[in-house]
Amino acid sequence: MKLNTIKKTIAAVVGSAMLLGSAGSLAADLTLDQLLKKVESGRYAEAKENKAREARFSKEKQNQERLLAEMKAELARLEGVSQQREKQFEENEQRVAEAEKTYNERKGTLNELFGHLTSAAGDARSNFEVSLTSIQYPDRAEFLDGLVAKMSGSDELPTIAEIEKLWFELQREMVESGRVAKFDTTVKLPNGDAVDETVVRVGTFNVVSEDGKYLKYANGSLEELPRQPASAIRSQAAKAATSTSGLSAFGVDPTGPTGGSFLAALINSPSIEERWHQGGYVGYAISALGVVAFILAIWRLIVLVGVSGKVNAQLKSSEAKENNPLGRVLAVSKSNPNMDTETLELKLHEAVLKEIPSLENYQGALKIIAAVAPLMGLLGTVTGMILTFQAITIFGAGDPKAMAGGISSALITTVLGLVVAIPTVLLHTVVSSRSKRIIHILEEQTAGIIAEHTEAELRKG
């Protein structure tokens, strides 16, 4: 039986060896006895290895049991420490509660005082952040931050010195708000450069440099306004900044550094030149017409004044002169003394008609300019309004300032048209009255000459 079992085992081993590559070829070269010996030696080696493994596992098991016992002992110790910490925590909570009770009892009615003090310190910090006096006293911001942080907690009270310093800072702010102070500080220019300048602070309203430029307080520093007020206001500021005593005129922005809306609106308002450029090409054309009308009117006034002087001189002279309209009309009468009345009247009327065009020259152009200028202004306004409404269609009407600015620019041409038309009408009236006065003198003298000639003919008859 045992031999059969061994044979079966050998047959299984041989079959397995045949399935392997190189191992199968090696088993084929061995005899059954040699193969049986190898199997026997392998079984003994495996048994020996299994016994060593079992001994090692037994030893590791003892080590794990020892470690488990140690961990259980450590767990028991930590649980004891935890219970001790919990007991100590409860005792500390009780002590904290007793300390808070004692703190509140001792503080008593000071709770309300400290509440007002905290509120006052917070308000002062907010006001000092935008106050111009912070340029001179920058260290108070740090003090107020620390005081507010201390009073916001519940474990520390402000000292008497800190309370007195808070009162001092509030008092100093009130005093400085009504004082004009001069001091040196750093100023940022519009190009980004920083320079050291002597500035003058007018209360808590405005700060100006010694040359009269207005400054603004932003981000803890002074910056020069990129766009300054009018030169008259700057000259007043420069004079006030350099004066040492007495009263000086000064343009104060009542909204102060917190808003500065009045000064911003003042300096951002377009100048006359900027408004003129807003009129565009239509505005330039209207301005050109106005210049032409003004030159024509002045030229005609000079000419008519000269002619009027010569005519007045002719009225005082008995000799007909050719250098004036009246002299030329009188020359026609003197050159035809024996002409009948009707013919002489026609001759004189013809002479007067010849003088009228030169006297009324360019008056029609002035009248046309006075009529066309408002129409061109209206054309520019309508064109500008069309562009404004197109922009509103694209971008919407969410910004009323932008829409108002577009309408304002569109109305500039209407203003220019009226500015040109009104003086042109007045100049045309003055020029026309001058020419009509001379023409009236010519007609008056002509009627006198005809009357004298008719009377002379009646005497002869």
**Are residue 284 and residue 254 in the same domain, yes or no?**
no
Residue 371 is predicted with a pLDDT of 94
Average pLDDT over residues 131-135: 84
Domain contains 452: yes
Give the pairing type, strands 221-224 and 180-188: parallel
Residue 97 is predicted with a pLDDT of 86
Residue 257 is predicted with a pLDDT of 61
**Are residue 292 and residue 439 in the same domain, yes or no?**
yes
Each residue's pLDDT tens digit, 181-212: 888 888 888 888 888 888 888 888 888 888 88
Domain contains 288: yes
For the chain, percent of residues with pLDDT exceeding 90: 15
**Are residue 411 and residue 426 in the same domain, yes or no?**
yes
Angle at CA of residue 167, ends 163 and 170, nearest 5°: 140
**Are residue 141 and residue 198 in the same domain, yes or no?**
no
**Are residue 148 and residue 198 in the same domain, yes or no?**
no
Which residue, chain included where needed, has tokens 């044979």? Answer: 7
| Pick from 101-110, 231-240, 281-290, 298-307: least confident | 101-110
Mean pLDDT: which of 258-262, 321-325, 414-418 is highest? 414-418
Each residue's pLDDT tens digit, 398-413: 666 666 667 777 888 9
**Are residue 167 and residue 287 in the same domain, yes or no?**
no
**Are residue 200 and residue 346 in the same domain, yes or no?**
no
Predicted TM-score of the model (pTM): 0.55
For the chain, percent of residues with pLDDT exceeding 70: 83
With CA atoms as reference, report the closest residue to 135 among 218, 192, 191.
218
Report the domain count for the chain: 3
**Are residue 284 and residue 255 in the same domain, yes or no?**
no
**Are residue 184 and residue 297 in the same domain, yes or no?**
no
Domain contains 22: no
Residue 458 is predicted with a pLDDT of 79
Each residue's pLDDT tens digit, 269-291: 777 787 888 888 888 999 999 99
Each residue's pLDDT tens digit, 220-248: 788 888 788 878 888 888 888 888 777 88
**Are residue 245 and residue 387 in the same domain, yes or no?**
no
Sorted by sequence, the CB contacts under 8 Å of residue 180 that are 6+ apart come out as 200, 201, 202, 203
Find the helix or strand (DSSP H, E) in which 412 lies.
helix 400-460
Indicate the residue among 149, 177, 205 that finishes a domain.
177
Distance CA 53, CA 31 (A): 33
Residue 256 is predicted with a pLDDT of 66
**Are residue 206 and residue 236 in the same domain, yes or no?**
yes
Amino acid, res. 150: K
> What range does the domain containing 205 cover?
179-263
Distance CA 445, CA 435 (A): 16
Which residue, chain included where needed, has tokens 């910004």? Answer: 399
**Are residue 255 and residue 146 in the same domain, yes or no?**
no
- What average pLDDT does the structure give for the chain? 81
